Amino acid sequence: MKKLTLFFSKLFLFLIVFSASVVSQIQPKELHQKVDSLLLENVSENTPGSAVLVVKDKEIILNKGYGLANLDYDVPITPSTLFDLASLAKQFAGYSIALLAEQGVLSEDDNIQTYIPEFPEFDKPITIGNLLHHTSGIRDWTSTLPLSGRTFDDVISMDHILRMAFQQKELNFTPGDEYRYTNTGYNLLAEIVERTTGLSFRDWTNQNIFQPLGMTQTFFLDNHKEVIKKRAVGYYRSNGKFYESPNLLTALGSSSLYSSTNDLAKWVNHLMYPSDKKKAVVNRMMLTQPLSTGEKNNYAYGININTFRGTPWISHSGGWASFDTYITMLPEKDLAIVVLSNNRQNSFNIVGRIASYYVPRKEAGQQDSGSNEDEKTAESFSIPDDLLDDYTGTYKLGPGWYVHLTKEDGRLWTQATYEDKYPMTALSDSLFEIPAYGNRTMEFFANENGGIAHLIYNNSISPKVSNKISPTLTNPSEYTGTYWSDELSTSYEVVFEDEKLKLSHFQNGDIELIHAWSDEFKGSEWFTDLVEFQRNETGAITGLSVTQYRAKNQLFKKVQTN
């Protein structure tokens, strides 16, 4: 009897496990219904939209278009519609390097000056590996060219990008020390492919990647005037109307790749199930490289290697001219998902929702994504409004690194340089926690007059004393004058008008400089995050530097005083 009971207990347990696994394997019909419902929340037959591809166990189980590829002529999006893949192009540049490395043509350890001798020499050589893994320190053209006056609506070619790279005077950091995403590095990889093979990057990738895989609709665009049949147009929405986004970019290696979900189905299957001849190439493409500090870097050859609910997640995103693209592969689930959008739709969220149909959260022992049981959503300690007012303001954490504290709805909020805004939870009348950062805290300290002098930011590594800034611009006229950049071949005039200090540029117009600390200012344009004036030993202003996250210390020499 006991044996029989044990048998039925095991059978019951097996049925529970089996039924759970069945539930987790969504059926194609249900998948179509869920994706239809998901996409049609924001897409109609009269709006831009997306193409969605799902490949499971080598088979295409969903390949469908939603919305219009062209609003002028009511052309619908289909699986054969060509999208600008934006930064999804990087994995094809990475694959190109992996293929040439396996052929012995080049090595990840090679100095890039071996192939591009006109690239400037720095204290430490930059290797092909540094370019692949975004550890080169090379400035990103998406930050430098706007400062020079070129907008994203202008023609931006490989020639523009390479000339900027070859004139670079300084790196963001010592190669290998940090990870910092830069499109320029992948443009240089495309240039290396051209110089080692003697073919244009477009021709080489056609002959060695796209044609062998039967990807007949995929190519790198190297002439922005070219007519592309079945091409989707990128659109953005403003004041209830759609507008076309100009797209005159030919940035080979980093961007400017056109393809369809029909072709990308062949690509993801190639990466997940490579032939015996190409296994070594694909395996190499998945290799990451730690930083010189030993810290892990998840960026491989044009792809990120992460996890999703406990299972490997190989992915990359792309965004340009209102195109928003995402590709991911979950090899342990034999699953690949691609979403290509032409209206800034958040493709990452769509991919994540579709992936969740196949990888239930319970497999990783995690809570539902909508759960907020552990999140503190209210103040646990009541703070008078006037005291919160005292805490608001700007605090200097380090060079070009500030934290701005504001009061909203009776609560203190924090926003640090390059970061989003987050609410804080009061633990006492002077100690606050930042729930979004785990157990990190800020503690406020008063000066002898009762005003707030500084805070201590405890980031769980080493506490940092941050002084509160009281901006006072006593002599704005000493900053005025003309400043010239050899690196960008452009000049700015610093003027003081209407009680405001401004950077004035022929193309970029007036950019207000908001005083932050000593000789440091925050520019009103995104590409002027930090503007710091330089002084000589006598205290005279001799120049300025402009810093944005992907392009630090872009130097301008003062050439004329107003």
- pLDDT of amino acid 362: 55
Q: Which residue has the tokens 């608001």?
A: 392
d(CA 314, CA 310): 13
The per-residue pLDDT of the chain, averaged, comes to: 89
**DSSP 8-state code for residue 207:** I
d(CA 405, CA 423): 10
β-bridge partners, 127:
111
Q: List Cβ neighbours of 13 (8 Å cut-off, separation of 6 or more).
A: none
Pair 227, 219: CB distance under 8 Å: no
Pair 380, 411: CB distance under 8 Å: no
Q: Over the stretch 381-419, which tens digit does the pLDDT of each residue have? A: 678 888 888 999 888 887 767 888 889 888 899 988 767
Q: Over the stretch 546-556, which tens digit does the pLDDT of each residue have? A: 998 899 999 99
Task: Please provide the CATH number assigned to the domain covering 60-137+172-310+320-360.
Answer: 3.40.710.10
**Residue 197: exposure state from Cβ atoms within 10 A (0-12, 13-18, ≥19):** middle
Domain map (residue ranges) of the chain: 60-137+172-310+320-360, 385-468, 476-560
CATH 2.40.128.50 fits 385-468, yes or no: yes
Asked if pLDDT for residue 156 goes beyond 90, the answer is yes
d(CA 310, CA 498): 57
Pair 47, 24: CB distance under 8 Å: no
Helix axes 141-148, 158-166, angle to 10 degrees: 90
Pair 77, 65: CB distance under 8 Å: yes
Fold of 476-560: Lipocalin (2.40.128)
Which runs of E-coded beta strand occur in 285-359? Answer: 304-308, 311-320, 323-330, 335-341
- Residue 450 CA from chain centroid, whole number: 43
| Predicted TM-score of the model (pTM) | 0.83
Q: Over the stretch 520-534, which tens digit does the pLDDT of each residue have? A: 998 999 899 899 999
Say if 60-137+172-310+320-360 and 476-560 have the same CATH topology: no
124: left (phi over 0), alpha (psi -120 to 50) or beta: beta
